[in-house]
Amino acid sequence: MAFFSKTPDPDKKPSADSKPVREHDRIEGKGEKVAILPSSKTFNVLDFSMGGFCIKGYDGKLHGNQYLEFKFFGAKDGKDVKTEGFATVVRAKDDFLAVKFTPQPRLKQFFLDYLD
């Protein structure tokens, strides 16, 4: 999906019109869900990383640089796991919503454990 693509060659210097290089690789969602608060409307996760997530089907009023609170629901080793945190909207376009996490050590540790 070019809309959220990572620069393919890390040794290649980006041109002025190229997209920035991602800090964290994305993982395709496999049943994870995110609830955007305060509405608590739940969305399937399209992809996520240590840095944020992307959902499809978003039809709300959030726009770039807004803060939001979310709850993340997944499963690890046959057990349901969840966490909550805060994020900044990177992009709200068409029916996609992409966010990056604000600095939260507890959230970072959750995703380190979840992805392990």
Integer Cα distance of 1 and 94 in angstroms = 14
**87 neighbors 102 (Cβ within 8 angstroms):** yes
CA angle 84, 42, 112 (to 5 degrees): 35
**78 neighbors 92 (Cβ within 8 angstroms):** no
pLDDT attached to residue 90: 96
pLDDT in tens, 16-63: 666 666 566 788 999 999 999 988 899 999 999 999 999 999 999 999
Task: Catalogue all structural domains in the chain, each as residue range(s) with its CATH number.
Answer: 27-115 (2.40.10.220)
Residue 22 DSSP one-character state:
P
With a cut of 50, say whether residue 84 has pLDDT above it. Answer: yes
Integer Cα distance of 41 and 58 in angstroms = 9
Residue 108 DSSP one-character state:
H
Residue 21 DSSP one-character state:
P
pLDDT in tens, 8-18: 555 666 566 66
